[in-house]
Amino acid sequence: MFEKIALVGIGLIGSSIARGVKAKGLAKATAISTRKQETLAEAEALGLGDIYTLDAAEAVRGADLVILCTPIGAYEAVMDTIAPALEVGAILSDVGSVKGHVHRVLAPKVPRGVHFVPGHPMAGTEHSGPAAGFAELFENRWCMLTPEAGEDRGAVERVIAFWEALGSNVELMDATHHDLVVAITSHVPHLIAYNIVGTADDLESVTKSEVIKFSAGGFRDFTRIAASDPVMWRDVFLTNREAVLEMLGRFLEDLSMLQRAVRMGDGPALESLFTRTRAIRRSIIEAGQETEAPDFGRQHGSAPGE
């Protein structure tokens, strides 16, 4: 599909792409670049690519597809390094979880003749680094692409075909709309998880050991999300501020209503909401985005305390 793919950043997402490219034979060569020598050495030991370099410009030279896979906060500096080395006709893409900001900071720096097709695979785990990736991560998950309306159709089609080859479903979307959608489906849920785990950690009347011991009551499912990469998520909230604040405002209003229902002992209001939300979970399972198995498909009997 491509002569040379360059991946700048080789953590969970970059290494999953690298593995998928290899498994599906999507490029003649994969060049890998990252910031730290030890991360590069780890990627090489895992055999994720063909060319390994700490110099991002060297990685992208001669590449027909370049994908930025670093935290979003690193994009501008990375772009300043690679821009002079990008080939005319190459496609520049990324996997960042926020898209409006990425358009704003990268688009002005994209050299003439380079196609810019930003993307966001809606797939991930709470783990980070080259060893955390796996080729199947994107299978049956959605990948949103947010090219500008005037972008070269052929380049967009090639990126669509690339993600489809990795097993994803692809949707084209306006960057601003993308940011609103992910604010409610991903960013606010992460903020809530970070908050509830932080609140529990700060409690004095319930001890930390009790929180950990009795976590199966619901808390532990939040801790999975709240274990997500601190730097990546810092950058998400720094760059998708408006959409997150809008959705958070809605959330807080609804939470106040729920607080009132609890205070007033309003059973019908509580039951009516919980019935609606249960139906949403069913729809997610029916859409193939979650397993039918109880308890998130956890294997029982083997985990400590179960």
Minimum distance from residue 135 beta carbon to ligand NAP (Å) = 14
Sole residue written with tokens 């960042």: 96
Please report, as residue ranges, which positions from 222 to 251 form the binding site for ligand NAP (by CB under 6 A): 229, 232
Q: In this complex, which beta carbon is closest to ligand NAP, that of residue 78 or of residue 211? A: 78
Distance CA 144, CA 71 (A): 17
Distance CA 108, CA 79 (A): 10
Neighbours of 262 (CB within 10 A): 11
Q: Which is nearer to ligand NAP, 36 or 263 (CB)?
A: 36
Q: Contact with ligand NAP (CB under 6 A): which of 9, 100, 119, 147?
A: 9
Stretch that binds ligand NAP, among 108-116, 117-125, 213-221, 265-273 (CB under 6 A): 117-125
| Position 71 contacts ligand NAP (CB under 6 A) | yes
Contact between 46 and ligand NAP (CB under 6 A)? no
Burial category of 9 from C-beta neighbours within 10 Å (exposed 0-12, middle 13-18, buried 19 and up) = buried
* Nearest-approach distance from CB 97 to ligand NAP, in angstroms: 4
Question: Where are the strands (E) in 197-248, listed by range?
Answer: none
Q: At a CB cut-off of 8 Å and minimum separation 6, what does 186 contact?
A: 97, 122
Cβ neighbours of residue 68 under 8 Å, at least 6 residues apart? 8, 9, 75, 78, 79, 92, 93, 94, 95, 96
DSSP string, 14-33: HHHHHHHHHHHT-EEEEEEE
Tell me: does residue 100 bind ligand NAP (CB under 6 A). Answer: no
Taking CB under 6 A as the criterion, the residue among 5, 6, 13, 27 binding ligand NAP is: 13
Q: Shortest approach of ligand NAP to residue 258 CB, angstroms?
A: 28
User: Which of 96, 119, 147, 167 forms a contact with ligand NAP (CB under 6 A)?
Assistant: 96
Alpha carbon separation from 155 to 21, 85, 117 (Å, rounded): 18, 19, 8
Please pick, from the candidates 11, 20, 118, 167, the single residue that binds ligand NAP as defined by CB under 6 A.
11
Question: Distance (Å, rounded) from C-alpha 33 to C-alpha 75?
Answer: 13
Residues 141-200 that bind ligand NAP (CB under 6 A): none
Minimum CB separation of residue 71 from ligand NAP in Å reads 5
One residue of 34, 146, 168, 240 binding ligand NAP per CB under 6 A: 34
Residue pair 188/108 in contact by the 8 Å Cβ criterion: no
The answer to whether 20 contacts ligand NAP (rule: CB under 6 A) is: no
Footprint of ligand NAP (CB under 6 A): 9-14, 34-36, 39, 69-72, 74, 78, 95-97, 120-121, 124, 128-129, 229, 232
